[in-house]
Amino acid sequence: MNWYILCTKLFHEKKVAEKLTNKGFEVYLPTQRIKKRWSDRIKVVDQLVISRIVFVHCNEEERNNTFVETGCYYMMDRSTKKVAIIPDKQLESFRALISQKELPVEFTDRQLKPGTKVRINNNLFDDIEAEITITEGKERVFVRLNSLGCAIVEVSQSDLTLIND
């Protein structure tokens, strides 16, 4: 069983996730609760973190069936030219990052250069391992997902511990 990145049509993410869940697949659709402001009110809504993406946990045979049934396609790993697989630990870290209500998560598909590996030591992230980059004088920690990009969140330098390889 592996986590695969399923690419959907725009605005079909929730429908595809629901369809696969009803068929018995374990599915993760990354959403985050945010406050939306209109002229007359403020409302809390679930917003997709990554558009057109649904994560599916299945074996290779099931993966082939989901491909046929949903009309979607699987993201390819740019370096190996094979279907991209997300390691369980990376997806767990990504889920933990997204689940934090206190910090908004920015998602980017920019290719960020690998940096120093760190462990985040604060109550929000509970020892998540990540990589660090310094951009415009701010320290930013990101969790890398193979072939997809990085979730980025700012974290205090005092909350980081270096990991020795």
Residue-wise pLDDT for 125-147, tens only, equals 667 777 766 655 556 666 666 56
Where do the domains of the chain lie, and which CATH numbers do they carry? 2-86 (3.30.70.940), 102-162 (no CATH)
Answer whether 22's CB lies under 8 Å from 164's CB: no
Which residues make beta-bridge pairs with 154? 140
**Distance, CA of 122 to chain centre:** 20
Residue-wise pLDDT for 59-111, tens only, equals 888 887 766 666 788 788 777 778 888 888 888 888 887 877 666 676 666 55
Residue with tokens 């990101």: 142
Which tokens hold the place of 114? Answer: 């690998």
* pTM: predicted TM-score of the whole model, two decimal places: 0.71
Angle formed at CA 16 by CA 12 and CA 19, multiple of 5 degrees: 140
Answer whether 94's CB lies under 8 Å from 145's CB: yes
Percent of the chain topping pLDDT 70 = 70
